[in-house]
Amino acid sequence: MLSFDGLFNAFVTILATIDPPGLAPLFLALTRGMDRQQRGQVGMRASVIGFVVLTLFALAGAAILAAFGITLPAFRVAGGLLLFFIAFEMVFEKRQERKERSADAAITRDHIHNIAAFPLAIPLIAGPGAISATVLISGQMPSMAGQAALVAILLACSAITWMVFVLAERIDGFLGETGRSILTRLLGVILAALAVQFVADGVRALIAA
């Protein structure tokens, strides 16, 4: 049975791994020279592609794992460790540097019309952390109602990401360097606690098996 706490934890986990406030300055950098309408189109396309990729892993993640002979408890431990590493990077401000390097590399290789798909949608929105979190949460919500709720959560997170892109200039100016740092660290601490819970649940399931 779905509980409010479970749904809220899923929402916070996915939103923290996507980290929309942290993407705002990168979005501005990638779309430098575009007008507001062009930025809106890029932001919408990136959010839609990110949503589609994450939804694919939400609905078919278990089948993908089974094809490689990976059990869900094993993936839960591995995914929890990965999420903890991402949380560590967020708390100590290492993740932003890595994202900026990915963004800079992509600008030199890809045409400006493709930046919505790469690097905005993949790997900045639907990155390893968000994909891992989605597959883990999907395993905890195996029913049709749970899957529908997870897709709704992904849609909400994608919509929030798109709104952040639309308001990127205002949000970046409002938060400033200090505000972004505080918000990212806070999300990192929450994500670290959730990651530990994923690992604990995975280890418990492996022992029970």
Question: Tokens 């492996």 — which residue?
Answer: 206
The pair of structure tokens assigned to 190 is 């929450």
d(C-alpha 96, C-alpha 132), whole Å? 19
Q: What is the pLDDT of residue 109?
A: 42
Q: What is the pLDDT of residue 191?
A: 77
Q: What is the pLDDT of residue 97?
A: 61
User: Which band of pLDDT confidence, cut at 50, 70 and 90, is reported for residue 46?
Assistant: very high
> What is the per-residue pLDDT across 150-185, written as a single tens digit (0 to 9) for each?
999 999 999 999 999 999 888 777 877 788 778 778
d(C-alpha 126, C-alpha 47), whole Å? 9
Q: What is the pLDDT of residue 26?
A: 78
- pTM check: above 0.85: no
> What is the per-residue pLDDT across 2-33, written as a single tens digit (0 to 9) for each?
788 899 999 999 999 998 988 888 788 777 77
73, amino acid identity: P
> What is the per-residue pLDDT across 70-119, written as a single tens digit (0 to 9) for each?
887 888 888 888 878 878 887 887 655 655 555 555 444 444 557 888 87
> What is the per-residue pLDDT across 102-114, written as a single tens digit (0 to 9) for each?
555 544 444 455 7
Residue 115 · residue 33 · CB < 8 Å: no
Domain definitions of the chain by residue range: 36-208
Contacts of range 71-76, beta carbons closer than 8 Å, 24 or more positions apart? 71/206, 71/209, 72/139, 72/205, 73/201, 73/202, 73/203, 73/205, 73/206, 73/209, 74/202, 74/206, 75/132, 75/135, 75/136, 75/139, 75/202, 76/136, 76/139, 76/198, 76/199, 76/201, 76/202, 76/205
d(C-alpha 60, C-alpha 144), whole Å? 13
